[in-house]
Amino acid sequence: MKRFWFVLFALGLITTFSTQALAVDVKFSGSYYAAGMYLDKTTLRKDTATDGPSTAFYFQRLRVGTEFIVAPGLSLITRFDAMERSWGATRTVPGTTLDSLSAGTRAENENIAFDYAYIQYASSIGILAVGYMNNNDWGTVFGNSQGPAAKASFILPIGFDLTVMAQVVKVTENSRTAINPSATFSDADTNEYYLIATYNWKYVTAGVLGVYGRNAETRPLGWMISYYMLEPYATAKFGPVSIQAELQYAWSGHFVKFENNIPLSDQKLSNWAGWIDITASFGPVYVGGSFAYVAGDNPDTTDTVEGGILTGGADWNPCLILWNYDRTYWAGSLAGQGTSVNSDPMVNAFFYQGRVGVKPIDKLDILASVSYAYADKKPTGYVSNEYGWEVDLTATYKITNNLSYMLGIGYLFTGDYFKGEVANASVNNDFLVLNKLTLTF
């Protein structure tokens, strides 16, 4: 019997070492960060029984991407996040709800969760990609919420610096499958269809994204949703001046369309958002400013939806406190009085920011900013539409080419928007201290 297992093991070794390797090359990339946060107030309420206490904790995340180059032009690409958790904190109870910007649940991300797994083939006529891959990553950083989505993508370089891309995205699948045997509708899915064109000049890059979306998940309840989006953008650099701008518009004549003889009127969609950012460098000093707008929904027009579809995006973090992804993900939303709350991403807002920075040495970048924001549409019964002022100061030191340390302090002068519907209420100002060590590879 021992001879049998020895011969079998030897044959296995011979087979293993004589088989041609399928992967020509493997490339790794990724990042790791460890950060500490102190938030003085976890709510903005004042003089109530539920005023927010302070919180202080550490958190981290490891992200690893791999590219298996099977043959020239043919790759299998994957990415996973691991150990995305607060140090020493209680683990999240496993569930089925996907985590923010992830293909895994929060409990899975606290251990390990794969987000990307797709094939990419670069042929003589274009680049084809199929599988779970990056999505919601277009134009400038404004409006982006990079996360995985199941889709098929084809990129066609036309020439003259013009590139065209077409994508089909499966957002939600509700057909009858082995894990959904109770499905009673054959058409209750959500799909999106993208058509993209980009053009590069010497100093300018510009493009436009067109989207058609169809959400039939609510058909069993008697209605469905369809919409269109158009998102042009441009970036330019003229000497010391850099400019970024993006405009977004979502519309539909039948955004919410009722079926099955339900006696309700259809709703229309008309939602705007936009952003412009300018930065000028003068030696070690640079100055800049941003303006952003995301329309809010008008409470007086019940037949049209003007807000809530387009946002500033999770990738765009203009402040350390207001509309900041890390603050929201790790410390939670900031609740005010009544129903008022601030979380990420930005919605229903006019936003203005001025910045000044200095790089006294190559490795050190110090940046100060002042921001002001107010709501586009004041919710019914609210005391004010003013979100408030925020002052932020950050310093980033590049320890090596791959390792950097950031220290940031933010102070929010809380506006009366956070009094909500309570006219005689009070609100607290808030401040945050964040330090973050980041490794890239």
Q: What residue segments make up the domains of the chain, in order of their start?
A: 123-272
In which residue are the tokens 């797994």 written?
117
Segment 13-40 mean pLDDT: 75
Question: How far apart (Å, rounded) are the C-alpha atoms in residues 177 and 200?
Answer: 44
pLDDT at position 11 is 41
Task: Name the pLDDT band for 1 (thresholds 50, 70, 90).
Answer: very low
Residues 109-144: tens digit of each pLDDT: 999 999 999 999 999 999 999 999 999 999 999 999
Q: 130 φ, ψ to 5°?
A: -140, 130
pLDDT at position 26 is 96
Residues 371-406: tens digit of each pLDDT: 999 999 999 999 999 999 999 999 999 999 999 999
For residue 84, pLDDT beyond 50? yes
For residue 24, pLDDT beyond 90? no
Residues 205-239: tens digit of each pLDDT: 999 999 999 999 888 888 899 999 999 999 999 99
Task: Name the pLDDT band for 187 (thresholds 50, 70, 90).
Answer: confident
Segment 102-107 mean pLDDT: 97
Task: Name the pLDDT band for 160 (thresholds 50, 70, 90).
Answer: confident
Segment 10-17 mean pLDDT: 40
The sign of the dihedral angle between the CA atoms of 229, 230, 236, 242 is: negative
Taking a C-beta distance cutoff of 8 angstroms, is the pair 409, 393 a contact? yes
Residues 342-358: tens digit of each pLDDT: 999 999 999 999 999 99
Question: How far apart (Å, rounded) are the C-alpha atoms in residues 112 and 83?
Answer: 6
